[in-house]
């Protein structure tokens, strides 16, 4: 008669921790070139402690990490939307026959775009977005 070994005991389930930007190395700010945060504290642990200036500072750090992750997500989605519009315009231009004078006018608009990518300014993104909107409207006419 063979003796069966009992199934291994399951470890007590830990409460689900709130995901942070550092916990998923494949995604999030750490994967995008942002420096990894040092000395990460859990929210639950900080909340159970008596409110001291140090605890308040730790809570602020945790919340700012959350704001940072939200900022990165919003930025990614914004860029994806604008990039999708640009790809749509490129596809539209490649498939349509436009009069030469209209092509010259659109080409002039694109060449007049004045941005400085190395500065990383929000107003440059706005200028690109306005150009894309203008081109989309011109192609819809």
Is residue 40 within 8 A of residue 22, CB to CB? The reply is yes
Q: What is the pLDDT of residue 4?
A: 59
What distance in Å separates the CA atoms of residue 141 and residue 93, rounded to the nearest whole number? 13
Task: Give burial (CB, 10 Å; 0-12/13-18/19+) of 21.
Answer: buried
Closest CA to 35 of 65, 6, 79: 65
Is residue 22 within 8 A of residue 34, CB to CB? The reply is no
Is residue 43 within 8 A of residue 56, CB to CB? The reply is no
Task: Give burial (CB, 10 Å; 0-12/13-18/19+) of 91.
Answer: exposed
**pLDDT digits (tens), the chain, 141 positions:** 555 555 555 555 444 444 444 444 445 545 555 555 555 556 666 667 677 888 899 999 999 999 999 999 999 999 999 999 999 999 999 999 999 999 999 999 999 999 999 999 999 999 999 999 999 999 987
In the block, tokens 């945060």 appear at 37
For residue 26, the 8-state DSSP code is T
């Amino acid at each position: 008669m063979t003796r069966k070994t009992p199934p291994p005991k399951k470890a007590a389930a830990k409460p689900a921790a709130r995901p942070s930007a550092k916990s998923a190395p494949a995604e999030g700010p750490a994967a995008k070139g942002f420096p990894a945060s040092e000395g990460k504290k859990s929210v639950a642990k900080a909340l159970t402690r008596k409110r001291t200036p140090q605890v308040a500072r730790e809570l602020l750090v945790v919340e700012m990490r959350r704001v940072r992750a939200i900022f990165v997500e919003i930025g990614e989605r914004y860029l994806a939307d604008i990039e999708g519009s640009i790809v749509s315009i490129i596809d539209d231009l490649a498939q349509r026959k436009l009069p030469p004078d209209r092509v010259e006018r659109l080409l002039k608009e694109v060449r007049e775009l004045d941005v400085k990518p190395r500065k990383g300014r929000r107003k440059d993104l706005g200028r690109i977005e306005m150009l894309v909107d203008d081109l989309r409207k011109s192609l819809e006419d």
